[in-house]
């Protein structure tokens, strides 16, 4: 894989991980990057340390030392706890050393492997191998959260969508909230907000105007998009989508 400074790339994991892993990725940014909420959790190698990026509820500015890089494995929403061994809510808005979760011996052995690889893409492949090796020991994903993700992906966003999901899935509001926090890191209302925001980002990246992106993503109006965008990215939509190519993800 051709890796140029400043490039962020992602690609699918092997078939055996596809149900739990959204993608592998590598990044060699030229400077500080802005990471935005996406309902996912990542295992990250920065060339010197291994850590888990928990589910974010706001923007995270990531500094980079000169010549540095990142390699990562991104879990699908709700799938990381089975491999990490802790509820997602325990990692919300945090960056946690992998040895705190997998133990010092396992993390040190993995870091030793990563230190010998030729670049970020190869490092991401090593992370995938480590996660695959833990598969037989991993717990099961919560089927209710899988069903919630599927439901939110096919139903139009609207007021009361979470209550509608709770009824459609046959789960009480409290039960759905508790299990969503454990699997994703926050409740279903926040999850729906993040997924809607990501839909708007993808639409804008594909060339849609802000008003069209807001409507297609499920926002009530452009002002609704602006409020969520400021909360989740710290920027106005016009500023966020202008700077996305510079390093936001």
DSSP string, 1-31: ----TT-EEEEPPPGGGTTTEEEEEEE--SS
Count of beta carbons in the 10 Å neighbourhood of residue 206:
8
Q: Does residue 247 register a pLDDT over 90?
A: no
For 92-101, 141-150, 153-162, 180-189, which range has the lowest pLDDT when averaged over its residues? 153-162
Q: How many CB atoms within 10 Å of residue 92?
A: 17
Strands 50-53 and 8-11: unpaired
Q: Is 116 exposed, middle or buried (0-12, 13-18, 19+ CB in 10 A)?
A: exposed
Mean pLDDT lowest among 85-94, 178-187, 206-215, 234-243:
234-243
* Closest to 217 (Cα-Cα) out of 228, 163, 36: 228
Give the pLDDT score at 18.
94
Other beta carbons within 10 angstroms of residue 160's beta carbon come to: 8
Q: Average pLDDT for residues 157-179, to the nearest whole number?
A: 86
- Full-model pTM: 0.90
* Predicted local distance difference test score (pLDDT) of residue 131: 97
Instruction: Tell me the C-alpha distance between 214 and 201, whole Å.
Output: 9
Domain range 143-246, CATH architecture: Orthogonal Bundle (1.10)
Q: Where are the domains of the chain?
A: 8-137, 143-246
> Is residue 21 pLDDT above 80, yes or no?
yes
Give percent above pLDDT 90 in the chain.
65
Rounded average pLDDT over 166-185:
94
| Nearby residues of 152 by Cβ (< 8 Å), 6 or more positions away | 161, 165, 191, 192, 195
Average pLDDT over residues 2-8: 55
Confidence of residue 156 (pLDDT cuts 50, 70, 90): low
Residue 170 is classified by DSSP as T
Closest of 87, 76, 79, 41 to residue 60, by C-alpha = 41
Helix (H, G, I), strand (E, B) or coil at 111: helix
The pLDDT of 12-17, averaged and rounded, is: 95
- Given this model, what pLDDT does residue 140 score? 87
- Average pLDDT score over residue span 180-186: 97
Is the pLDDT score of 218 beyond 60?
A: yes
Q: What is the pLDDT of residues 65-78, one digit of tens each?
A: 676 889 999 999 99
Are 67 and 124 within 8 A, CB to CB? no
Q: What is the pLDDT of residue 139?
A: 81
pLDDT for residue 153: 83
Cβ atoms of 142 and 180 closer than 8 Å: no
Q: What is the mean pLDDT of the chain?
A: 89
Please choose, from the candidates 59, 71, 1, 58, the residue with its C-alpha nearest in 3D space to the C-alpha of residue 29. Answer: 71
pLDDT at 249: 58
pLDDT for position 243: 54
Q: What is the CA radius of gyration of the chain?
A: 18
Q: Which two tokens stand for residue 8?
A: 């962020």
- For residue 53, give the H/E element and its range: strand 50-53
């Amino acid at each position: 894989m051709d890796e140029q400074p400043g490039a962020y790339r992602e690609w699918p994991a092997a078939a055996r991980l596809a149900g739990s892993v959204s993608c592998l990725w590598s990044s060699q940014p030229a400077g500080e990057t802005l990471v935005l909420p996406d309902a996912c959790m990542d295992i990250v190698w920065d060339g010197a340390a291994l850590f888990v990026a928990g589910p974010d509820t706001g923007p995270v500015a990531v500094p980079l030392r000169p010549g540095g890089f990142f390699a990562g494995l991104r879990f699908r929403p709700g799938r990381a706890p089975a491999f990490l061994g802790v509820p997602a809510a325990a990692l919300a808005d945090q960056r946690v050393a992998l040895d705190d979760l997998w133990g010092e011996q396992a993390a040190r052995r993995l870091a030793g492997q990563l230190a010998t690889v030729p670049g970020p893409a190869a490092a991401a492949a090593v992370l995938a191998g480590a996660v695959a090796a833990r598969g037989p020991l991993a717990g099961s994903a919560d089927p209710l959260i899988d069903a919630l993700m599927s439901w939110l992906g096919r139903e139009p966003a609207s007021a009361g969508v979470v209550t509608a999901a709770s009824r459609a899935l046959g789960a009480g509001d409290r039960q759905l909230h508790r299990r969503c926090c454990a699997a994703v890191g926050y409740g279903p209302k926040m999850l729906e907000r993040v997924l809607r925001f990501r839909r708007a980002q993808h639409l804008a990246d594909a060339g849609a105007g802000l008003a069209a992106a807001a409507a297609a993503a499920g926002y009530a109006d452009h002002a609704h998009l602006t409020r969520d965008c400021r909360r989740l990215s710290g920027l106005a939509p016009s500023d966020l989508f202008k700077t996305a190519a510079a390093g936001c993800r």
